[in-house]
Amino acid sequence: MSDSNNDTFFFLTDLPGLEAMHAWLSIPLCVMYVASLAGNSLILWLVRSEPSLHQPMYYFLPMLALTDLGLSASMMPTMINIYMLHLRQVAVEVCLAQLFFIHSFSIMESSVLLTMAFDCFVAICSPFHYGTILRNTRVASLGLAIVVRGIGLLIPAPIMLKKLPYCRNHLLSPSYCLHPDVMKLSCADTRINSTYGLFVMISTLCLDSVLVVLSYGLILQTVLSITSKAEGLKALNTCVSHICAVLLFYVPTIGLSVIHRFEKPSAFSCVLLSYLHYVLSPFLNPIVYTIKTKQIRLKMLPLFRRSRIDKMDKEHH
């Protein structure tokens, strides 16, 4: 029989073995959270305010920034509660809402990365048809499809989990709620939930990663066919920032799947890989795109110079 009190709350954990370092761990987590919010917000503001960036190829950056902001906003509140306030208890309804938003934004980010891979493919393999294929209206349609896909596929998740009885230890391994972890706490038959979760995983992250690899296979084939090595490297260099974003997003997930398949993973390695996937990507994406995208970098430099001059003027007065 399920415990009514346990059915009301779940309990979150942190990195195993590092409980005594909460005060120190909270500092980098807060810094990453604030930097993620500031960096992604800056990209949104920059693309919106600069007319020269009002082109299809730059519209995907705000999409990526919005998904990163959503992912950070979904996860960080419970992580900060654990590491700074030592609050581990979370209501079931809050937990289900959190897992819905985390998985929805994760699917949206995967969709955005796939769309950006398609953008790179068209820009390199069919540069003369780029303006025809990726018109503003088509980019807007892709953005709407990304949102509908992310939300639509995840609507059943909290509804199905809410109906399950939870009569085991209500201890969740990461510092935030995820579908597989919550599902494992139920004492009822979860085969339907498991099948649904597998379907969502295969039809989103797995499919998207395969299509991204296929896109880069075709891009590489086109680059190798270019007679001038310098021109080929220049074309490939335009995709470096996207490749970094893809690796940051997919490698931790693939690593976690491989560990689960070939050996029994430790709790520490599972939580660490989960952090790398959900926490590090929103933090590093704005940095990568600022460094590797010349147009973004050139627009940001005057802002930093201006702030430096204003600071010097204040100190002088």
Q: 308 falls in which pLDDT band (50, 70, 90)?
A: low
pLDDT band for 1, please (50, 70, 90 cuts).
Answer: very low
SS3 for 233-277 is HHHHHCCHHHHHHHHHHHHHHHHHHHHHHHCCCCHHHHHHHHHHH
Q: Which pLDDT does position 231 carry in this prediction?
A: 76
Q: Once rounded to an integer, what is the mean pLDDT over residues 199-204?
A: 91
The more confidently predicted of residues 305 and 175 is: 175
Domain range annotation of the chain: 9-304
Q: How far apart are CA 189 and CA 14, in angstroms?
A: 28
pLDDT number for residue 154? 93
Average pLDDT, the chain: 82
Q: How confident is the model at residue 18 (pLDDT cuts 50, 70, 90)?
A: low
In this structure, the number of other CB atoms found within 10 A of the CB of residue 246 comes to 22
Residue 234 phi/psi, 5° resolution? -65, -40
Residues 145, 52: Cα–Cα separation, whole Å: 26
**Structure tokens that stand for 76 in this block:** 């960080």
Q: Cα angle at 284 between 94 and 197, to 5 degrees?
A: 40
CA atoms within 13 A on the CB side of 27: 3
Cα separation of 26 and 239, whole Å? Answer: 34
* Pairs from 189-197 (Cβ < 8 Å, separation ≥ 24): 190/164, 192/160, 193/160, 193/161, 193/164, 196/156, 196/157, 196/160, 197/157
CATH number of the structural domain 9-304: 1.20.1070.10
CA nearest to 104, candidates 62, 73, 141, 139: 73
Q: Which of 61-70, 77-86, 152-161, 191-200 has the lowest mean pLDDT?
A: 77-86
pLDDT classification of 136: cutoffs 50, 70, 90: confident
